[in-house]
Amino acid sequence: MAVLTEEWRVTATIANWILSTAAIRSVESVYKDAAPTLMQRAGHAAARLVEQFHLPPGPILILAGPGNNGGDGLVLASELRQRGREVVVAFLGDADRLPPDAAAAMAAWLQGDGALAREFKSDGWVLAVDALFGIGLTRPLTGQVAEWVERFNALKCRRLSLDIASGIDADTGRALGCAVRATDTLSFIAWKPGLMTLDGPDHCGRLHLATLDVTVDQHDGAGRLITRSNFETLLTPRPRNSHKGLYGDVGIVGGASGMVGAAWIAGRAALALGAGRVFVGCLAADAPALDPSAVELMMRRADEVPSLASVLAVGPGLGQHEPARALLKRCLAFAGPLVLDADALNLIGTDPDLETLLLARPHDTLMTPHPAEAARLLQSTTAAIQADRVATAKALARRYRAHVALKGCGTVVAHPDGAWAINTSGNPGMAVAGMGDALTGFAASLLAQQWPAPMALEAAVHLHGAAADALVANGVGPVGLRASEVIDAARRIRNAWTSESA
């Protein structure tokens, strides 16, 4: 997943905005006559970041493209040269057709005795900078550009992209054929969706933000970055005068034959995040009467659980046979918050009657599909879902009037009012069975403790990933990471965050 550096996050609300390319262009238009220009500010900010890298002596390579991203690179080149660095600019394009600000940056570089190379060597650099295309690119990279990108990716030095790794769609994170693989990316003005989801994190590396002294007010369609600050006000210590009834009753429904463990994992996760009581109802006739790893879970018949719970989670290990469908039908009438995952989503996606019941619910509904489940819900394909994950999550939230977490690299959370956010915690070790069941239990537990639905889902997603990251940082995984380990880590982290916020 993407890693964000604190020193460039600048804490103000602007640092949490995620803007589409169209929104960025709208903001840029307000500053078209600003002095210094946004391009000059971008080049200066990039030079400051390069200073933070504490590079050894040696030449720096800048690949400059035919547009404003290339202009950012040329300003950076001039700044670095003024600071005593040896800089080589390899330019790809027609200097006579540059946009005005980029042309001015080119002139400044050349007037300062800079030169333009049409090729670059394959070793000897202390830093290589990708200033080829940035945001706005929608076509695959081919020909000489593709060749340069492949050679850039093979360089054995730190590699910095300006705004976004060239070849990555800034709005979707989709790699447009070949794409730069940067070790670092400096995003200008605000974050872009493509930095944080789908292919973006694999290509953009460590993320940095330079706001360029630009003010970004509430912008139609803007998203947010999910961080602990989003829900920190809810991380309050429990009163000493507490009892289990204050923290809600979670009901887990699922666990068909051969999948009892999925329901147990969800139940264990709900306990770990603090639910007062957790009831688990398994459809399997031979389900054990006790979870030996969590004897606190109260086992009941699956059809009993809805009447015992204040929050209901349906789907982990549910199956798609007729008894599962009949039970889900009953659960959709539950008079309280409902979390739907796994086979509950698969059944709804193939049964119009169940969909109708879901749409009639007057209570909060949370849905946590992976891309294949999302495809069934929207009668689409997994490829189409992944092609625009933000649009997909928003479409699901709108269609089902639900709070939706579209799981995957850069989980996208969308809400019925159109708000959306992207989570950056988590790592590839989470690509294993049981992780989604744990997330379901986390979300249900926070709902049972009276967290508002939007914050419960965003916090569950963020904490889920943060727990996995903490484990990997301590040498547990990513290969072989297990959901039960993440559950235990999430409990520790939630308690630590609460202590820090007190």
Pure H helices in 193-313: 200-204, 260-272
56 marked ligand binding residue: no
Is the separation of the CB atoms in 269 and 441 below 8 Å?
yes
Residue at which a domain ends, from 218, 235, 255 = 218
319 marked ligand binding residue: no
Domain at 37, CATH number: 3.40.50.10260
pLDDT tens string 114-172? 999 999 999 999 999 999 999 989 899 999 999 999 999 999 999 999 999 999 999 99
Q: 365: which strand partners? A: 338
Residue 235 is assigned to a structural domain of this protein = no
Residue at which a domain ends, from 201, 218, 235 = 218
411 marked ligand binding residue: yes
317 marked ligand binding residue: yes
Residue 404 is assigned to a structural domain of this protein = yes
Residue 410 is assigned to a structural domain of this protein = yes
136 marked ligand binding residue: yes
Judgement on whether residues 149 and 285 belong to the same structural domain of the protein: no
425 marked ligand binding residue: no
68 marked ligand binding residue: yes
370 marked ligand binding residue: yes
Judgement on whether residues 295 and 410 belong to the same structural domain of the protein: yes
Domain at 337, CATH number: 3.40.1190.20
163 marked ligand binding residue: yes
Helix axes 435-448, 260-272, angle to 10 degrees: 40
Q: For the chain, what is the domain count?
A: 2
Judgement on whether residues 199 and 278 belong to the same structural domain of the protein: no
Judgement on whether residues 276 and 205 belong to the same structural domain of the protein: no
48 marked ligand binding residue: no
Residue 469 is assigned to a structural domain of this protein = yes
399 marked ligand binding residue: no
Beta carbons within 8 Å of 13's beta carbon, 6+ residues apart: none
Judgement on whether residues 102 and 203 belong to the same structural domain of the protein: yes
Judgement on whether residues 281 and 209 belong to the same structural domain of the protein: no
Beta strands in 398-492 (DSSP E): 403-406, 412-414, 420-423
Judgement on whether residues 270 and 313 belong to the same structural domain of the protein: yes
Judgement on whether residues 466 and 338 belong to the same structural domain of the protein: yes
Q: Show the domain range for 412.
A: 247-501
Judgement on whether residues 319 and 452 belong to the same structural domain of the protein: yes
21 marked ligand binding residue: no
Judgement on whether residues 255 and 212 belong to the same structural domain of the protein: no
Is the separation of the CB atoms in 405 and 457 below 8 Å?
yes
d(CA 155, CA 132): 16
410 marked ligand binding residue: yes
137 marked ligand binding residue: yes
Judgement on whether residues 256 and 141 belong to the same structural domain of the protein: no
130 marked ligand binding residue: yes
138 marked ligand binding residue: yes
d(CA 490, CA 208): 27
Looking at residue 11, the DSSP 8-state letter turns out to be S
Judgement on whether residues 84 and 27 belong to the same structural domain of the protein: yes
Residue 237 is assigned to a structural domain of this protein = no
Residue 226 is assigned to a structural domain of this protein = no
407 marked ligand binding residue: yes
- Each of the 502 residues of the chain gets a pLDDT tens digit; together they read 344 443 333 333 457 899 999 999 999 999 999 999 999 999 999 999 999 999 999 999 999 999 999 999 999 999 999 999 999 999 998 999 999 999 999 999 999 999 999 999 999 999 999 999 999 898 999 999 999 999 999 999 999 999 999 999 999 999 998 999 999 999 999 999 999 999 999 999 999 999 999 887 666 679 999 999 999 999 999 999 999 999 999 999 999 999 999 999 999 999 999 999 999 999 999 999 999 999 999 999 999 999 999 999 999 999 999 999 999 999 999 999 999 999 999 999 999 999 999 999 999 999 999 999 999 999 999 999 999 999 999 999 999 999 999 999 999 999 999 999 999 999 999 999 999 999 999 999 999 999 999 999 999 999 999 999 999 999 999 999 999 999 999 999 999 999 998 7
262 marked ligand binding residue: yes
Residue 225 is assigned to a structural domain of this protein = no
44 marked ligand binding residue: no
Residue 83 is assigned to a structural domain of this protein = yes
